[in-house]
Amino acid sequence: MTRGKLLAGGAAAALFMVVIFVIAGGPGAKAQAKKEVPLETGGDASVRPWKRYAGWPARDESKWSTLGHQSSPPPPNAPRKLAGPITGDAANGARLVADRDRGGSCLACHVMGPAGGVNLPGNVGPDLSEIGTAGREDEYLFNYIFDPRVYNPETVMPPWGGHGLFNDLEINDMVAFLKTLKSPAPFKTELDNPEKRPAPVETRENLDPIENPGMWAVDKAQELWKQSGAAGKSCQSCHANAGAEFKSWAASMPKWEPRLDKVLGVEEFVTRHAKATTGADWLMETDENRAMSIYLHYLANGTAIHVDTESAASKAAIERGKALANRKVGELNFACTDCHGKVANRWIRGQWLGEPKGQIDHFPTWRTSLLAIWDIRQRFQWCQVNIRADELPPDAKEYGDLELYLAALNEGQKLSVPGIRH
């Protein structure tokens, strides 16, 4: 109830501001408008041609839909008919359901009796440990693995056969294995049971430089701040009092930029503004750009995220972002809203699928498993590569729309940057 009241209060305040703006916006108002922020509007803000990060899977997934284009085949209209009962190799099926090289293994989402040694299965989909007693027909089981969209258009399950991850014989073997499953999974520990596994809680002090090496970027950025670029000026030349000037700016980003006809996040803004002012060449996903983004977010720490959701251009961008969040992409055919909407707050193998709220306030974040800083665009890119879709360059306009949509869903969340995550 409290949240509802707060939201209503916020909306009323926003409306009030619009009214004042309209009253004040008489003749001559345009002439008094604030001078436009200098931005380099030519060229790209990241490396072209875009090259995937070192150490990331080199798979070519160009056949499948991305956030930039739609090319995946449509779902089938009807289930495939089988010639006769399935005679598969259940032992091979047991191996295949636990095979992590083909998009994550069935165990990522399902508990399946003894399969895979019952090692941290997920609970995105139903527990299949007793599917062998459910009286399902072979054709149903086969088609559910081949392309479950014939039975459930809303499913989040990938079309394993339809997208060619497993062939018919392999699916037969998996069906044969499923029919052997007749008793509950023998969990070795309570943590192996996804229904009992506690949700992860991040308790590390992300703003302590001893705990979080991401904090070192704050120092680095303060040095960069004073460094003269090719134009002989530094950030310091115009922004001598960064702490006061930027104490809330990052919380209002990303923002629609009419000169570029796209939404700019802090990172692309830094690239284009530095180029146009100091002459510094800080392309997105360089160490300098990441450090500057961390610093600018850091200065706004504690400020509630509040992006423009009122202007016509922002509204349109948010609508596009919402559509992109619902678009099925990649060989595994996932939409953002599958994992972080329909099945949020569940386990995909040992990883927790979070809700959209809380997914942006700590970015850029330090990744302890990678000893690296990731900004939100790199996080978007990894989501895609991980579900076997080609990523877009970090400055792609689609990511701008998506980031604005995500930020709007995070309205009111307070920035705490750099975050610290696994």
3-state secondary structure the chain: CHHHHHHHHHHHHHHHHHHHHHHHCCCCHHHHCCCCCCCCCCCCCCCCCCCCCCCCCCCCCCCCCCCCCCCCCCCCCCCCCCCCCCCCCHHHHHHHHCCCCCCCCHHHCCCCCCHHHHCCCCCCCCCCCCHHHCCCCHHHHHHHHHCHHHCCCCCCCCCCCCCCCCCHHHHHHHHHHHCCCCCCCCCCCHHHCCCCCCCCCCCCCCCCCCCCHHHHHHHHHHHHHHCCCCCCCCHHHHCCCHHHHCCCHHHHCCEEECCCCEEECHHHHHHHHHHHHCCCCCCCCCHHHHHHHHHHHHHCCCCECCCCCCCHHHHHHHHHHHHHHCCCECCCCECHHHHHHHCCCEEECCEEECCCCCCCCCCCEEECCCCEEECHHHHHHHHHHHCCCCCCCCCCHHHHHHHHHHHHHCCCCECCCCEEEC
CB of 392 to other proteins, least distance (A): 28
Give the nearer residue to other proteins in terms of CB position, either 83 or 371. Answer: 371
CB of 299 to other proteins, least distance (A): 20
Q: Is 219 in the site for other proteins (CB under 8 A)?
A: yes
Give the nearer residue to other proteins in terms of CB position, either 235 or 329. Answer: 235
Q: Is 213 in the site for other proteins (CB under 8 A)?
A: yes
CB of 208 to other proteins, least distance (A): 8
Q: Is 210 in the site for other proteins (CB under 8 A)?
A: yes
Give the nearer residue to other proteins in terms of CB position, either 127 or 288. Answer: 288
* Contacts (CB under 8 A) with other proteins, residues 48-77: none
Judged by CB under 8 A, the residue of 209, 341, 350, 354 near other proteins is 209
CB of 286 to other proteins, least distance (A): 14
Q: Is 216 in the site for other proteins (CB under 8 A)?
A: yes
Give the nearer residue to other proteins in terms of CB position, either 101 or 223. Answer: 223
Judged by CB under 8 A, the residue of 137, 202, 208, 355 near other proteins is 208
CB of 209 to other proteins, least distance (A): 5
CB of 276 to other proteins, least distance (A): 25
**Interface with other proteins (CB under 8 A):** 208-210, 213, 216, 219-220, 223, 371
